[in-house]
């Protein structure tokens, strides 16, 4: 039988175009990076049944099952239904697999579920974000990390969300042991100093990582009731100008971040190059075209930040410019 495959539909359905003729790979999406063991067993079963028995673990916390015959795609879509249900990913039609692949899996570091330094439940926030933005064909990358260690490497994404806590200090519980100062110096930015037996925090320098809280032996330092976030914008990899995301908002709240991401999708729909190859264009290149002010106007529409939030009104990105010169001599 003649093989007649629409590769555009194949990719949109979260199958990979493989260099091996006649084969594909199924791309499983795991928002927030956490999945039940029974779904993992199902993944293994599908890889054994339809694939070549191997599983590729992706950089974005998905898995790809290579070596699947193109003809088996409908059967694979049926087989992975329980995984889609389990991971809570939005779907348009049951047993038809993933409805889009443009907006990438939403990544999360282990966060406060496991990590002593995680400032919030990264998986929960990532899942909430995925619920809002997926399915979508636009090429957008979002990642969540629990603290400024950035184990989630969120500065490589369009939207990077870094957890923060505002250290609360009770001088009446402080004995001046200076462990917060020592560990802030060793493990963080050195924002603390001892003045007259009590600790003073440089609020400009403090990145809200919570190291002082973790090492305080008396609970003189505690975490703020509110979970705060640093939102960093428009990092990317790629062949033109890979770069790290830059700080946009410090001490942001969850709702504002949700609103900003939603607004950003509207901005991209408005300004994306209509001739962009395969409809994919990193947001950063669009911002280069419209200017930051226009981008700012769109993404901050109806966003109600809390009083503590600090916003950068102009951002400059650096990075490697392959597109200018690659001469290392």
Partner 1 sequence: MGYVISRTGFESVIEKLGQQYRLYAPVRKVGEGRYTDVDVVRYDFVTKFDEIELEAKSDYAFKELLTPLSQTLFFFTENEVKEADFDDRDVIIFLRSCDMHAVKRLDAIYLENKFADPFYERIRKRVKFALIGCAHSYEDCFCVDMGTNRTTEGYLFSIDVAGDEIKSDVACPDVAALFEAADAKAEEVVPAYVTENEVRVTVPEKVPNEIYKHGMWDEYTARCINCGRCNFVCPTCTCYTMQDVFYTDNGKVGERRRVGASCMVDGYTNVAGGGQYRRTNGERMRFKVLHKVYDFRKRFGYDMCVGCGRCDMVCPEYISFANCINKLNDAVNELEGGASK
Q: Could you write out the DSSP letters of every residue in 208-233?
A: ---HHHHH-SSSSEE--SS-EEEEEE
Contact range with partner 1 by CB under 8 A, out of 41-49, 90-98, 175-183, 237-245: 175-183
Look at residues 218, 76, 106, 227 and name the one whose alpha carbon lies nearest to residue 165.
227
Does 218 interact with partner 1 (rule: CB under 8 A)?
A: yes
Cβ proximity to partner 1, 215 vs 285, nearer residue = 215
DSSP state at residue 141: -
By the 8 A CB rule, do 133 and 111 touch? no
- Its sign, for the CA torsion 72, 78, 79, 81, is positive
Q: How big is the site for partner 1, counted in residues (CB under 8 A)?
A: 32
C-beta of 37 vs 195, nearer to partner 1: 195
106 touches partner 1 by CB under 8 A:
no
Residue numbers 131-150 binding partner 1 by CB under 8 A? 146
Q: What are the Cα distances from residue 83, in Å, to 76, 97, 234, 288?
A: 11, 10, 31, 39
Q: Which of 177, 258, 276, 311 binds partner 1 (CB under 8 A)?
A: 177
128 lies in the binding site for partner 1 (CB under 8 A):
no
Please report whether residue 112 would count as binding partner 1 according to CB under 8 A: yes
Q: What is the Cα–Cα distance from 76 to 72, expressed in whole angstroms?
A: 6
Q: Where are the alpha helices (DSSP H) in the chain?
A: 7-12, 37-49, 73-79, 81-87, 122-133, 179-187, 211-215, 254-271, 283-290, 292-299
The least CB distance from residue 185 to partner 1, in Å, is 14
Tell me if 193 contacts partner 1 by CB under 8 A: no
Closest approach of Cβ 168 to partner 1, in Å?
A: 8
Instruction: Give backbone dihedrals phi and psi of 192, rounded to 5 degrees, phi first.
Output: -115, 145
Site string for partner 1, 195-214 (x = CB under 8 A): xxx------------x--xx
Q: Output 206 or 272, the one with its CB closest to partner 1.
A: 206
Nearer to partner 1, 74 or 217 (CB): 217
Footprint on this chain of partner 1 (rule: CB under 8 A): 112, 116, 118-121, 146, 165, 171-177, 179, 195-197, 210, 213-220, 222-223, 225, 227
């Amino acid at each position: 039988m003649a093989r007649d495959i629409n590769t555009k539909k194949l990719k949109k359905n979260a199958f990979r175009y493989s260099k091996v003729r006649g084969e594909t790979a199924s791309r499983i999406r795991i928002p927030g990076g956490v999945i039940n063991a029974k779904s993992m067993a199902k993944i293994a079963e599908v890889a054994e049944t339809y694939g070549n028995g191997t599983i590729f673990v992706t950089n974005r916390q998905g898995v790809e099952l290579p070596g699947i015959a193109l003809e088996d795609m409908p059967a694979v879509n049926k087989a992975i239904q329980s995984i889609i249900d389990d991971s809570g990913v939005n779907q348009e039609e049951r047993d038809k697999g993933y409805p889009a692949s443009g907006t990438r899996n939403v990544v999360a570091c282990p966060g406060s579920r496991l990590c002593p330094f995680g400032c919030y439940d990264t998986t929960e926030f990532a899942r909430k974000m995925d619920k809002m933005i997926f399915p979508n064909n636009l090429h957008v990358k979002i990642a969540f990390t629990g603290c400024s260690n950035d184990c989630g490497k969120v500065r490589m994404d369009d939207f990077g969300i870094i957890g923060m806590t505002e250290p609360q200090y009770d001088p009446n519980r402080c004995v001046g042991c200076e462990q917060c100062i020592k560990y802030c110096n060793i493990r963080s930015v050195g924002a603390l100093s001892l003045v007259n037996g009590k600790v003073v925090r440089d609020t400009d320098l403090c990145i809200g990582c919570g190291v002082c809280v973790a090492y305080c032996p008396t609970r003189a330092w505690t975490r703020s009731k509110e979970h705060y976030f640093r939102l960093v914008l428009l990092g990317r990899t790629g062949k033109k100008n890979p770069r790290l995301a830059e700080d946009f908002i410090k001490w942001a709240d969850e709702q504002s971040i949700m609103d900003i991401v939603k607004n950003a999708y509207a901005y991209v729909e408005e300004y994306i190059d209509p001739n962009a190859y395969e409809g994919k264009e990193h947001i950063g290149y669009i911002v280069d075209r419209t200017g930051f002010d226009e981008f700012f106007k769109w993404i901050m529409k109806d966003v109600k930040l809390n009083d503590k939030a600090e916003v950068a009104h102009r951002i400059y990105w650096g990075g490697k410019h392959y597109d200018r010169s690659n001469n290392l001599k």
